[in-house]
Amino acid sequence: MKTTILITGGAGNVASALANKLAQNQDNYIVIVDNLSTGSLSKIPKLQNVAFVKANVNNYNDVVPVFGRYNFDYVFHYAAVVGVKRTLENPIMVLEDIEGIKNILSLSKNSGVKRVFYSSSSEVYGEPFEIPQNEHTTPLNSRLPYAIVKNVGEAFFKSYFQEYGLEYTIFRFFNTYGPNQSEDFVVPRFLKSALKNEPIYIYGDGMQTRSFCYVDDNVDTCIKAMSSKNCVNDVLNVGSDIEQTVLSLAQNIIEITKSKSKIIHLPPLEEGDMTRRCPDTSKMKAILGRELITLEVGISYLIKSL
Protein backbone atom coordinates (compact mmCIF):
# COMPACT_ATOMS: atom_id res chain seq x y z
CA MET A 1 0.00 0.00 0.00
CA LYS A 2 1.39 3.38 -1.02
CA THR A 3 2.09 6.14 1.48
CA THR A 4 1.07 9.50 0.03
CA ILE A 5 3.09 12.48 1.24
CA LEU A 6 2.59 16.18 0.57
CA ILE A 7 5.61 18.49 0.61
CA THR A 8 4.84 22.21 0.36
CA GLY A 9 7.67 24.40 -0.87
CA GLY A 10 9.08 21.27 -2.48
CA ALA A 11 10.91 23.16 -5.22
CA GLY A 12 13.28 24.63 -2.63
CA ASN A 13 16.68 23.28 -1.63
CA VAL A 14 15.94 21.28 1.54
CA ALA A 15 12.39 20.27 0.59
CA SER A 16 13.42 18.99 -2.86
CA ALA A 17 16.20 16.93 -1.25
CA LEU A 18 13.59 15.53 1.14
CA ALA A 19 11.31 14.69 -1.79
CA ASN A 20 14.13 12.99 -3.67
CA LYS A 21 15.10 10.83 -0.68
CA LEU A 22 11.49 9.87 0.13
CA ALA A 23 10.87 8.99 -3.52
CA GLN A 24 13.69 6.43 -3.47
CA ASN A 25 11.17 4.24 -1.63
CA GLN A 26 8.75 3.09 -4.32
CA ASP A 27 6.06 2.62 -1.66
CA ASN A 28 5.96 6.41 -1.29
CA TYR A 29 4.04 8.74 -3.60
CA ILE A 30 5.22 12.35 -3.26
CA VAL A 31 3.13 15.38 -4.18
CA ILE A 32 5.05 18.67 -4.32
CA VAL A 33 3.22 22.00 -4.11
CA ASP A 34 5.16 25.20 -4.80
CA ASN A 35 4.35 28.59 -6.32
CA LEU A 36 7.94 28.83 -7.70
CA SER A 37 8.45 32.33 -6.25
CA THR A 38 11.88 31.25 -5.02
CA GLY A 39 11.91 27.53 -5.83
CA SER A 40 12.91 26.03 -9.17
CA LEU A 41 11.41 23.31 -11.37
CA SER A 42 14.93 22.00 -11.94
CA LYS A 43 15.14 20.91 -8.29
CA ILE A 44 12.01 18.74 -8.42
CA PRO A 45 12.86 15.03 -8.84
CA LYS A 46 11.89 13.68 -12.27
CA LEU A 47 10.52 10.39 -10.98
CA GLN A 48 7.33 8.45 -11.65
CA ASN A 49 6.25 8.58 -8.02
CA VAL A 50 6.65 12.38 -7.75
CA ALA A 51 3.91 14.78 -8.86
CA PHE A 52 4.15 18.57 -9.00
CA VAL A 53 1.32 21.07 -8.59
CA LYS A 54 1.98 24.77 -9.02
CA ALA A 55 -0.06 26.44 -6.29
CA ASN A 56 0.22 29.01 -3.53
CA VAL A 57 -0.54 27.44 -0.16
CA ASN A 58 -1.26 30.90 1.25
CA ASN A 59 -4.33 30.96 -1.03
CA TYR A 60 -6.97 28.53 0.28
CA ASN A 61 -8.65 28.17 -3.12
CA ASP A 62 -5.29 27.23 -4.65
CA VAL A 63 -4.53 24.42 -2.24
CA VAL A 64 -7.94 22.93 -1.43
CA PRO A 65 -8.17 21.04 -4.80
CA VAL A 66 -4.86 19.32 -3.97
CA PHE A 67 -6.35 17.85 -0.80
CA GLY A 68 -9.47 16.94 -2.80
CA ARG A 69 -7.44 14.95 -5.33
CA TYR A 70 -5.08 13.09 -2.98
CA ASN A 71 -5.50 11.33 0.36
CA PHE A 72 -2.36 12.35 2.22
CA ASP A 73 -0.89 10.23 5.01
CA TYR A 74 1.74 12.80 5.97
CA VAL A 75 2.31 16.49 5.25
CA PHE A 76 5.60 18.37 5.37
CA HIS A 77 4.87 22.09 5.42
CA TYR A 78 8.09 23.73 4.21
CA ALA A 79 6.66 26.55 2.05
CA ALA A 80 7.85 29.93 3.34
CA VAL A 81 9.68 33.10 2.39
CA VAL A 82 13.34 32.42 3.26
CA GLY A 83 16.70 34.20 3.23
CA VAL A 84 17.75 36.90 5.71
CA LYS A 85 17.90 39.70 3.13
CA ARG A 86 14.63 38.72 1.44
CA THR A 87 12.70 38.36 4.70
CA LEU A 88 13.96 41.69 6.03
CA GLU A 89 13.02 43.48 2.81
CA ASN A 90 9.56 41.85 2.48
CA PRO A 91 7.98 41.74 5.96
CA ILE A 92 4.38 41.76 4.70
CA MET A 93 5.11 38.82 2.37
CA VAL A 94 6.59 36.99 5.36
CA LEU A 95 3.49 37.63 7.48
CA GLU A 96 1.27 36.23 4.73
CA ASP A 97 2.85 32.82 5.39
CA ILE A 98 0.58 32.57 8.45
CA GLU A 99 -2.32 31.99 6.05
CA GLY A 100 -0.50 29.02 4.53
CA ILE A 101 0.05 27.50 7.96
CA LYS A 102 -3.66 27.83 8.78
CA ASN A 103 -4.70 26.41 5.39
CA ILE A 104 -2.45 23.36 5.64
CA LEU A 105 -3.50 22.57 9.20
CA SER A 106 -7.21 23.02 8.51
CA LEU A 107 -7.12 20.81 5.41
CA SER A 108 -4.92 18.19 7.11
CA LYS A 109 -7.24 18.04 10.10
CA ASN A 110 -10.27 17.48 7.88
CA SER A 111 -8.75 14.84 5.61
CA GLY A 112 -7.30 12.20 7.92
CA VAL A 113 -3.61 13.16 7.78
CA LYS A 114 -1.69 11.12 10.36
CA ARG A 115 0.94 13.73 11.20
CA VAL A 116 2.10 17.14 9.97
CA PHE A 117 5.74 18.24 9.98
CA TYR A 118 6.64 21.91 10.17
CA SER A 119 9.87 23.63 9.14
CA SER A 120 10.42 26.17 11.87
CA SER A 121 13.78 27.90 12.32
CA SER A 122 16.60 28.57 14.74
CA GLU A 123 15.65 32.23 14.29
CA VAL A 124 12.87 31.76 16.86
CA TYR A 125 15.56 31.72 19.57
CA GLY A 126 16.72 35.27 18.78
CA GLU A 127 19.79 36.34 20.73
CA PRO A 128 20.85 33.31 22.76
CA PHE A 129 20.37 33.04 26.50
CA GLU A 130 22.32 29.77 26.49
CA ILE A 131 24.59 27.77 24.19
CA PRO A 132 23.85 25.16 23.01
CA GLN A 133 20.24 26.16 22.41
CA ASN A 134 17.86 23.56 23.80
CA GLU A 135 14.34 22.94 22.49
CA HIS A 136 12.72 23.21 25.92
CA THR A 137 14.93 25.46 28.04
CA THR A 138 16.04 28.25 25.68
CA PRO A 139 13.56 31.17 25.55
CA LEU A 140 12.17 32.22 22.16
CA ASN A 141 12.76 35.96 21.95
CA SER A 142 13.31 37.07 18.35
CA ARG A 143 11.37 40.13 17.20
CA LEU A 144 11.99 39.79 13.46
CA PRO A 145 8.89 39.15 11.30
CA TYR A 146 10.32 35.88 9.94
CA ALA A 147 10.97 34.49 13.42
CA ILE A 148 7.62 35.74 14.73
CA VAL A 149 5.81 33.90 11.93
CA LYS A 150 7.73 30.70 12.69
CA ASN A 151 6.88 31.07 16.39
CA VAL A 152 3.21 31.70 15.59
CA GLY A 153 3.32 28.66 13.29
CA GLU A 154 4.62 26.49 16.12
CA ALA A 155 1.74 27.70 18.29
CA PHE A 156 -0.77 26.78 15.56
CA PHE A 157 0.61 23.25 15.24
CA LYS A 158 0.50 22.72 19.01
CA SER A 159 -3.02 24.17 19.19
CA TYR A 160 -4.36 21.95 16.41
CA PHE A 161 -3.13 18.92 18.34
CA GLN A 162 -4.71 20.19 21.56
CA GLU A 163 -8.05 20.99 19.89
CA TYR A 164 -8.33 18.31 17.20
CA GLY A 165 -5.71 15.65 17.97
CA LEU A 166 -3.75 16.34 14.77
CA GLU A 167 -0.26 15.05 15.56
CA TYR A 168 2.77 17.14 14.65
CA THR A 169 6.54 17.38 14.73
CA ILE A 170 8.23 20.78 14.63
CA PHE A 171 11.72 20.96 13.10
CA ARG A 172 13.80 23.97 14.15
CA PHE A 173 16.26 24.13 11.26
CA PHE A 174 19.70 25.62 11.80
CA ASN A 175 21.89 26.62 8.83
CA THR A 176 21.57 23.84 6.25
CA TYR A 177 23.62 23.78 3.07
CA GLY A 178 23.81 21.52 0.04
CA PRO A 179 23.78 21.24 -3.75
CA ASN A 180 21.48 23.58 -5.70
CA GLN A 181 21.21 26.05 -2.83
CA SER A 182 20.81 29.68 -3.87
CA GLU A 183 23.41 32.32 -3.08
CA ASP A 184 21.04 33.90 -0.59
CA PHE A 185 22.83 31.59 1.83
CA VAL A 186 26.33 31.94 3.16
CA VAL A 187 28.03 28.61 2.28
CA PRO A 188 27.25 28.61 -1.48
CA ARG A 189 28.02 32.33 -1.67
CA PHE A 190 31.43 31.91 -0.05
CA LEU A 191 32.20 28.78 -2.05
CA LYS A 192 31.36 30.32 -5.42
CA SER A 193 33.59 33.32 -4.67
CA ALA A 194 36.42 31.08 -3.49
CA LEU A 195 36.31 28.89 -6.60
CA LYS A 196 36.58 32.02 -8.76
CA ASN A 197 39.30 33.54 -6.55
CA GLU A 198 36.99 36.51 -6.00
CA PRO A 199 36.70 38.48 -2.74
CA ILE A 200 34.59 36.95 0.02
CA TYR A 201 32.45 39.58 1.70
CA ILE A 202 31.54 39.31 5.39
CA TYR A 203 29.18 41.56 7.33
CA GLY A 204 30.88 43.07 10.38
CA ASP A 205 33.93 41.48 11.98
CA GLY A 206 32.79 37.94 11.22
CA MET A 207 32.82 36.93 14.88
CA GLN A 208 29.11 36.01 14.79
CA THR A 209 28.83 32.23 15.13
CA ARG A 210 26.79 29.65 13.27
CA SER A 211 26.77 25.89 12.81
CA PHE A 212 26.45 24.31 9.36
CA CYS A 213 24.47 21.15 8.68
CA TYR A 214 24.85 19.23 5.42
CA VAL A 215 21.47 18.65 3.76
CA ASP A 216 21.74 14.83 3.95
CA ASP A 217 21.89 15.01 7.76
CA ASN A 218 18.83 17.27 7.77
CA VAL A 219 16.81 15.07 5.39
CA ASP A 220 17.77 11.75 7.00
CA THR A 221 16.76 13.09 10.42
CA CYS A 222 13.39 14.34 9.17
CA ILE A 223 12.60 11.03 7.44
CA LYS A 224 13.56 8.99 10.50
CA ALA A 225 11.32 11.29 12.57
CA MET A 226 8.36 9.89 10.63
CA SER A 227 8.76 6.50 12.30
CA SER A 228 10.21 7.70 15.61
CA LYS A 229 7.96 7.95 18.64
CA ASN A 230 10.47 10.25 20.37
CA CYS A 231 9.43 13.42 18.54
CA VAL A 232 5.67 13.03 18.12
CA ASN A 233 3.99 16.25 19.29
CA ASP A 234 7.40 17.68 20.08
CA VAL A 235 10.07 20.09 18.83
CA LEU A 236 13.36 18.93 17.32
CA ASN A 237 16.48 20.98 16.63
CA VAL A 238 17.95 19.95 13.26
CA GLY A 239 21.48 21.16 12.66
CA SER A 240 25.14 20.74 13.50
CA ASP A 241 26.46 21.26 17.03
CA ILE A 242 29.88 22.43 15.79
CA GLU A 243 29.87 26.17 16.42
CA GLN A 244 32.19 28.37 14.41
CA THR A 245 32.53 32.00 13.40
CA VAL A 246 31.49 33.21 9.97
CA LEU A 247 35.08 34.42 9.53
CA SER A 248 36.44 30.92 10.21
CA LEU A 249 33.93 29.50 7.72
CA ALA A 250 35.36 31.80 5.03
CA GLN A 251 38.90 30.84 6.02
CA ASN A 252 38.03 27.13 5.95
CA ILE A 253 36.50 27.39 2.49
CA ILE A 254 39.54 29.28 1.19
CA GLU A 255 41.80 26.57 2.62
CA ILE A 256 39.72 23.65 1.30
CA THR A 257 39.52 25.13 -2.21
CA LYS A 258 43.11 26.42 -2.16
CA SER A 259 41.65 29.76 -3.22
CA LYS A 260 43.42 33.09 -3.56
CA SER A 261 40.30 34.96 -2.42
CA LYS A 262 40.68 37.85 0.00
CA ILE A 263 38.23 38.43 2.84
CA ILE A 264 36.62 41.87 2.80
CA HIS A 265 34.57 43.17 5.73
CA LEU A 266 31.38 45.12 5.07
CA PRO A 267 29.43 47.22 7.60
CA PRO A 268 27.38 45.03 9.98
CA LEU A 269 23.76 44.33 9.10
CA GLU A 270 21.39 46.64 10.98
CA GLU A 271 19.29 43.70 12.14
CA GLY A 272 18.86 39.98 11.65
CA ASP A 273 22.49 38.92 12.24
CA MET A 274 22.41 37.20 15.64
CA THR A 275 25.69 37.04 17.55
CA ARG A 276 25.64 33.30 18.25
CA ARG A 277 23.76 30.27 17.03
CA CYS A 278 24.35 26.61 17.95
CA PRO A 279 21.81 23.89 18.75
CA ASP A 280 21.60 21.19 21.36
CA THR A 281 21.40 18.21 18.97
CA SER A 282 21.13 15.38 21.50
CA LYS A 283 17.58 14.50 20.40
CA MET A 284 18.52 14.76 16.71
CA LYS A 285 21.54 12.47 17.12
CA ALA A 286 19.44 9.87 18.95
CA ILE A 287 17.01 9.81 16.02
CA LEU A 288 19.64 9.97 13.25
CA GLY A 289 21.75 7.21 14.81
CA ARG A 290 25.03 8.15 13.14
CA GLU A 291 27.71 10.81 13.15
CA LEU A 292 27.05 14.04 11.27
CA ILE A 293 28.86 14.91 8.05
CA THR A 294 31.78 17.27 8.73
CA LEU A 295 32.05 20.67 7.07
CA GLU A 296 35.13 19.57 5.15
CA VAL A 297 33.33 16.53 3.72
CA GLY A 298 30.19 18.54 3.02
CA ILE A 299 32.16 21.18 1.10
CA SER A 300 33.84 18.44 -0.94
CA TYR A 301 30.38 17.07 -1.85
CA LEU A 302 29.32 20.56 -2.92
CA ILE A 303 32.38 21.02 -5.12
CA LYS A 304 31.74 17.64 -6.81
CA SER A 305 28.14 18.63 -7.51
CA LEU A 306 29.12 21.82 -9.38
* Rounded Cα distance, 2 and 8, in Å: 19
Active-site residue flag, 125 = no
Rounded CA-CA distance 31/66 in Å is 9
β-pair partners for 202: 265
* CA quadruple 203, 196, 41, 27: dihedral sign: negative
Kindly give the interhelix angle for 60-69 and 97-109, rounded to the nearest 10 degrees.
30
Among 29, 74, 78, 146, which one carries the catalytic annotation? Answer: 146
Give the Å distances, CA to CA, from 108 to 68, 99, 131, 278.
Answer: 11, 14, 35, 32
* Gap between the Cα atoms of 147 and 112, Å rounded: 29
Sign (positive or negative) of CA dihedral 123, 151, 214, 45: negative
Taking each helix axis from N to C end, the angle separating 186-195 and 295-305, rounded to the nearest 10 degrees, works out to 60
In terms of phi and psi (left: phi > 0; alpha: psi -120 to 50; beta: otherwise), the region of 292 is beta
Q: Give the residue numbers annotated as catalytic, written as ranges.
A: 146
